[in-house]
Amino acid sequence: MATASVAHHDAAHHDHHEHEHHDNFITKYIFTQDHKMIGKQFLVTGIFWALIGGFLSILFRLQLGFPDMNLEFLRPLLGGWIDEGGKLDPTFYLALVTMHGTIMVFFVLTAGLSGTFSNFLIPLQIGARDMASGFMNMLSYWFFFLSSVVMFISLFIKTGPAGGGWVVYPPLSALEQAIPGSGLGMTLWLVAMTFFIASSLLGGINYITTVINLRTKGMSFSRLPLTIWAFFLTAVIGLLSFPVLFAAALLLVFDRSFGTSFYLSDIYVAGEALPNTGGSPVLFQHLFWFLGHPEVYIVLLPALGITSEVIATNSRKPIFGYKAMIISMLGITILSFIVWAHHMFVSGMNPFLGSIFMFLTLIIAVPSAVKVFNYLTTLWRGNLIFTPGMLFSIGLVSFFISGGLTGIFLGNSAIDIQLHDTYFVVAHFHLVMGSASFFGLLAGVYHWFPKMFGRMMDARLGYIHFWLTFVGVYLVFFPMHYIGIAGFPRRYYSWTNFEFSNMYTDLNMFVSVAAIVTFSAQFIFLFNFFYSMYRGRKATQNPWRSTTLEWTTPIEPGHGNWPGEIPTVYRWPYDYSKPGAAEDFIPQTVPLSQTPESNLPHEQEQVKLELEIMKEEEEVLVANESKH
């Protein structure tokens, strides 16, 4: 043990000196290997994409809510996509829906959420100087950037971006002659996603390695903050599922560009038979949803982890059921891989197989309910402090419940026959995955902004932002349940063409107005974010009086995070309002031996051991110093 600690201290010193040198602009802000700066790069790029993704949704909401509106005023921006009569081009409508989905799922809620907070928080919260490989981490961001550039360019090409839905089902996506969006737009989509997958894998490998190898002394897995558990499991899911998407996409590329028939069979386009034979489009769905479903949890788990941390801190209570939280996240991780076919109940799949997937799907309700229960019981009778971060976390719990309940309906293969691909599905996943994860992202930004930029965000603007967004999200997505139960399919250009759905015009107008208000409210956040970055109130070292390690670093930590030794961890991260303690929080770095007044009986026994180890450490340290 002694030798190990010598090596440890040596390494720590060495690392520190290495990072002393001054960075120039390029190595500090652009090709940086500092995990904190990379996290911020992911965040800013994610915000950029969120604005674009949100704006695209406003465009198609205008079409859905106001089908007779003259959109001539958008011509300077959309050009030829507005036709002679001032109407939105129907194929461009499909492209808008596709790009909104792709951007939000992958670029905002995967890269923007997991990329930001895994990078920023993992080393800070486990007590590491940086990620396992700073270079790979940098590469991960720049692959994402490259992917972003390609996807962004595809928005402006003549035939328009990909239009086959974010799930890119063949044959629609495989045949260039099917819709304009299946031409160059789809090719760029596939190229962009290839870079994106590479970026996610590089990031994921790094996150897992860092969490397993670089935890500071005393930071056992049972002392990890739940954020880290969530990021860790997210990375594991990504590592196992993204290669499968790559496998599916590669076969699609072969079908598109080389004439193979993996997914294509017996197709007539414009009266002409294609040579392809023997392919199976359902095969693509299997492969796609093997990623696609875990992707839901890649998006959601980090948000749940952030929420655990924010709710515990601002309830001034230990998280209820720490172990249960971990086990339920593990359960979700495992189950996420064996439920994919519930997206395919009506694909012509064997109904017996459907029953099995239905059963497995409904089991996910158990760990999800455990998590909700634990959030509520943590809040229960806590000394709640309503910071903006806390409000957004509570908002997440609300969406997780209301959106999760409809998941129980959709998971049933019989009811799904009616609800499949209707606005009921849209309402469900926008609440439980979209809005919930988005609120987790915002909660994280509000909560860790002081650590990122050394300043506080304005709380009052945060409250306004929260209430407008929270109410807005419900006003947008709640009415969609009704439209969906009525049977209206998603991705349709117009409501008014059908007898059964044209009475929903008013409701759609309402949804569209709510969507515009909600989107506009995000500019309050945007202003707050950039204004506070330069002009915000200066943060104190530990503004939320939190226990985790990141708040023991200087207010604006340099590369290497801690100026001296990396702190050692002596307790779990949720010692809030411990009976007998002087303060209502005890940081993880405070040894049990210093808090005899609040120790529980079994902790009192550990004190003896702790003192022994600390003494031994000191001897090693002294011996080490004299050697130098």
Partner 1 sequence: MERELKYIDIVEQPISMHPKKFALWLFMVTVVMLFAAWTSAYIVRQAEGNWLEYDLPEIFWYTSGVVVLSSVVLQWAYYSAKKDNLVNLRIGMVITVALGIAFLVGQWYSWVALVDREVFFVGNPAGSFLYVITGMHALHLISGLLFLIIVLISTFRLKVHSQSMNTMEMATTYWHFLGGLWLYLFMFLLLNH
What residue ranges bind partner 1 (CB under 8 A)? 1, 4, 132-133, 136, 201, 204-206, 208-210, 212-215, 217-220, 239-244, 246-248, 250-251, 254, 258-262, 265, 277-280, 283, 286-287, 290, 605-606, 609, 613
- The residue among 144 and 424 lying less far from partner 1, judged by its C-beta, is 144
Which residues, 6+ apart, have CB-to-CB distance to 481 below 8 Å? 406, 423, 424, 427
Answer left, alpha or beta for residue 87, where phi above 0 means left and psi between -120 and 50 means alpha: beta
* Extended beta strands in 258-385, E state: 268-269, 272-273
Residue indicated by tokens 């949890």: 297
Q: Go through the chain and tell me how many residues it has.
A: 628
Cβ 341 to partner 1 shortest distance, Å:
11
- The residue among 115 and 294 lying less far from partner 1, judged by its C-beta, is 294
- The residue among 227 and 261 lying less far from partner 1, judged by its C-beta, is 261
Q: Which helix (H) or strand (E) holds 40?
A: helix 35-65
Cβ 608 to partner 1 shortest distance, Å:
9
Q: Distance (Å, rounded) from C-alpha 36 to C-alpha 42?
A: 10
**In the chain, what is the straight-line distance between the N-terminal and C-terminal CA atoms, in Å?**
21
Cβ 192 to partner 1 shortest distance, Å:
19
- The residue among 209 and 355 lying less far from partner 1, judged by its C-beta, is 209
DSSP secondary structure string for all residues of 409-466: HHTSHHHHHHHTTBHHHHHHHIIIIIIHHHHHHHHHHHHHHHHHHSBPPPHHHHHHHH
Task: Please answer whether residues 315 and 378 qualify as being in contact, where contact means their C-beta atoms are separated by less than 8 angstroms.
Answer: yes
- The residue among 50 and 335 lying less far from partner 1, judged by its C-beta, is 335
Q: What is the CA radius of gyration of the chain?
A: 26
- The residue among 420 and 571 lying less far from partner 1, judged by its C-beta, is 571
Per-residue tokens: 242: 């993204």
Closest to 343 in 3D by CA, of 332, 353, 328: 353
Cβ 376 to partner 1 shortest distance, Å:
31
- The residue among 34 and 89 lying less far from partner 1, judged by its C-beta, is 34
- The residue among 247 and 369 lying less far from partner 1, judged by its C-beta, is 247
Per-residue tokens: 470: 């929270």
Cβ 224 to partner 1 shortest distance, Å:
11
Cβ 176 to partner 1 shortest distance, Å:
16
Cβ 259 to partner 1 shortest distance, Å:
5
Q: How many CB atoms lie within 10 A of CB 6?
A: 14
Cβ 375 to partner 1 shortest distance, Å:
29
Q: Report the amino acid identity of residue 205.
A: I
Q: Distance (Å, rounded) from C-alpha 264 to C-alpha 267?
A: 7
- The residue among 282 and 461 lying less far from partner 1, judged by its C-beta, is 282
Cβ 28 to partner 1 shortest distance, Å:
24
- The residue among 242 and 477 lying less far from partner 1, judged by its C-beta, is 242
Q: Distance (Å, rounded) from C-alpha 628 to C-alpha 622?
A: 10
Residue indicated by tokens 């209502």: 584
Q: Tell me the CA distances in angstroms from 70 to 21, 74, 79, one per residue in order.
A: 59, 9, 14
